[in-house]
Amino acid sequence: MNQGEDSVLQIIEEVASKHGIALDPNDPILMVYTINQHLMRSGARIQQAMLKECQKDIEEHMGLWKAQGDQAMRSTLDATREIITASVRVETEMALKALTLDLNKHQRSANLNLFASMLTLAASAIVLWTALSH
Full domain range(s) for residue 78: 3-133
24: region left, alpha or beta (phi > 0 left; psi from -120 to 50 alpha):
beta
pLDDT in tens, 94-131: 999 999 999 999 999 999 999 999 999 999 999 999 99
**Does residue 26 have a pLDDT over 70?**
yes
Mean pLDDT of 88-97: 96
Query: How would DSSP label each residue in 6-39?
Result: HHHHHHHHHHHHHH--PPPTT-THHHHHHHHHHH
Phi and psi, residue 22, nearest 5°: -95, 120
pLDDT in tens, 34-84: 889 899 999 999 999 999 999 999 999 999 999 999 999 999 999 999 999
Q: For the chain, how many structural domains are there in total?
A: 1
* Burial category of 59 from C-beta neighbours within 10 Å (exposed 0-12, middle 13-18, buried 19 and up): exposed
pLDDT given for residue 6 in this prediction? 76
pTM comes to 0.46
pLDDT given for residue 51 in this prediction? 96
**Does residue 1 have a pLDDT over 70?**
no
